[in-house]
Structure 1
């Protein structure tokens, strides 16, 4: 048996950060562009922009991404230090989740899975 899970962070009862938004932030960081990041992820620019906008509003007063329009040297989009913290924290949570569920993976039946859960529960107390 294997245990599968998905991880996301909510804030104010709204979906804030999950694997998709984290990937979008990473691609924005690499490309300096929401449009390029959207294209790499095979999503529309509007969907990418909406995701960034939602995340920024929930992150207020510290945005995760800042965009500068204009077409000059200073134009483009960049990840803020808060955006990098969001990526780093999410990745740490994923690693912890993987370690936790990795301990449970491979149980042959519910009895063994239950034993592993009990052992883990005792360690966490």
Structure 2
């Protein structure tokens, strides 16, 4: 889960183990969101302080473990290349964020109890 700068509440991180040899988690979803925002894999990687090769490898891994393309790469040329999320990629991000929100909501009471047990106080 995305950590808030105004609270010390313990947070939850969601990773989805797929029935293949892969998983989808917050880093890959953030990369997809950055590709959507930036319009390219290289710019998305730079936004995450990630090498171009690492970003490409993660996109290839996402496509492989999902069994279908989440990112459509557009070849360079006169106006340069780019990348966009496919309809499946958009759905993947939306579903992941819904699962993440549901998990956070379901765990909130226990996270607050853990915070109390640890003696952690909310930041002002």
Taking structure 1 as the reference length, the TM-score comes to: 0.76
CA-to-aligned-CA distance 1:83-123 (integer Å, 9 cap, x gap): 001100000011111111102233255xxxxxxxxxxxxxx
| Max Rg structure | 1
- Structure ranking higher in helix proportion: 1
Q: Return the structure number with greater relative CO, CA threshold 8 A, min gap 6.
A: 2
Q: What does 1:1-125 align with in structure 2 at a 5 Å threshold?
A: 4-60=11-67, 62-73=68-79, 75-107=81-113, 108=116
* Cα separation, 1, equivalents of 2:62 and 2:40: 16
User: Secondary structure at the residue paired with 2:100?
Assistant: helix
Aligned to 2:5: none
Q: Post-superposition shift, 1:6?
A: 2.1
- Is contact 1:16-1:54 (8 Å) kept? no
What is the CA distance between 1:67 and its match in structure 2?
0.5
1:99/1:34 CA distance change after superposition, 3 Å? same
Structure 2: segments with no counterpart, 5+ residues: 1-8, 118-124
Contact (CA 8 Å) 2:14, 2:25: kept in 1 or not? yes
Whether the 8 Å contact between 1:64 and 1:80 is mirrored in structure 2 is yes
DSSP-derived class of the 1:14 partner: coil
Structure 1 segments unaligned to the other structure (5+ residues): 110-125
Distance 2:32 2:17 in 1: 17
CA deviation string 1:30-73 (max 9, x = no partner): 1110000000000111111110000001222x310011212234
